[in-house]
Amino acid sequence: MATAAPSSISFFSSSIFLSNPSPSPKTIHFPRRRPSSAAAKIQAELATVPILSFDGDQVGSATLNLKSAPPETARAVVHRGITTDLTNRRRGTASTLTRAEVRGGGAKPYPQKKTGRARRGSQRTPLRPGGGVIFGPKPKDWSIKINRKEKRLAISTAIASALGNAIVVEDFEDKFEKPKTKEFIALMKRLGLDPKRKSMFLMTEVSDNVRLSSRNLGTLKMLTPRTLNLFDILDAESLVLSKGAVDFLNERYGLDGDGDDEENEFEEGEEEDDSQQGAEAEVEGGTDSSE
């Protein structure tokens, strides 16, 4: 008697797993989440900083209006900026010799058999002193790219967060007739700064007497707009600005600043210097060949 072949049961169409044996396909629509424009908008931090004279008396106040990242992303922006700076400081010149690069080891130290010792083909094996290094460091480029606007936003955010411990000082370059560390320490005490605590001075121009008077203080950083960096801003407990530095910060890192044009002009100047040096080298090479 012929028996009917059992019908094949599909895993997806079986009534065991589906309440409806033949369900109609349905399209599920997920609501699209719109990003909040307020969270992604760069805001401005308006702060008023007192201006002190060389004697430590308050003679006025200065206003700084700097760009600042939103509170939700400020920590991430500053963290990316500082990690990029610290990583780019690595020179990547550490280098070790492998077994093939170390000097010596060409002859077999002893016969292969009849010595009772382990087989050895070279004295420069990594298992012996003076041999090569297994998986040792080799020269490497550790540099990381960061967008220019992102780096500038990290610096402005860090400065804006440090303005609570900042003061503005009138120009005192002509007050130091000769290098004297004791006089600079006295100046810091008049400004209410502790010489044993970390502080950062940002000035547009630093005279030789001021630079020599402050270089023996290990807790002090004397910076200019060219050497301004994120690490020294975060590492300092007090921030001292000159009037020229205040104008520079408002112009470069302000909400309506045009720092891009200035930086582009600076880069164009460097390119022109490089092209002039290359042209001079070509001229010298042409004169040498003609001779």
Average pLDDT over residues 226-252: 93
Average confidence (pLDDT) over 112-131: 91
pLDDT greater at residue 37 or residue 42: 42
3-state secondary structure of 149: helix
* 4-8, 57-61, 103-107, 110-114: least confident range: 4-8
Residue 5: φ, ψ to 5°: -65, 135
**Mean pLDDT rounded to a whole number for the chain:** 80
**What are the boundaries of each domain within the chain?**
43-90+143-256, 93-141
Top pLDDT among 256 and 42 is at: 42
Better-scored residue on pLDDT, 286 or 142: 142
Question: Which CATH number, 3.40.1370.10, 1.10.3470.10, 3.30.360.10, 3.20.20.70, labels domain 43-90+143-256?
Answer: 3.40.1370.10
Q: Is 269 or 158 the better-scoring residue by pLDDT?
A: 158
Is residue 40 very low, low, confident or very high in pLDDT (cuts 50, 70, 90)? Answer: low
Say what the pLDDT of residue 175 is.
87
91: pLDDT strictly greater than 60: yes
Which of 157-171, 233-247, 252-266 shows the lowest mean pLDDT across its residues?
A: 252-266
Can you tell me the distance from the alpha carbon of 205 to that of 235, in angstroms, rounded to the nearest whole number? 22
Please state, in angstroms and as integers, the Cα–Cα distance from residue 6 to each residue in 3, 9, 20, 103, following that order. 9, 9, 22, 78
Tell me, what's the pLDDT at 15? 43
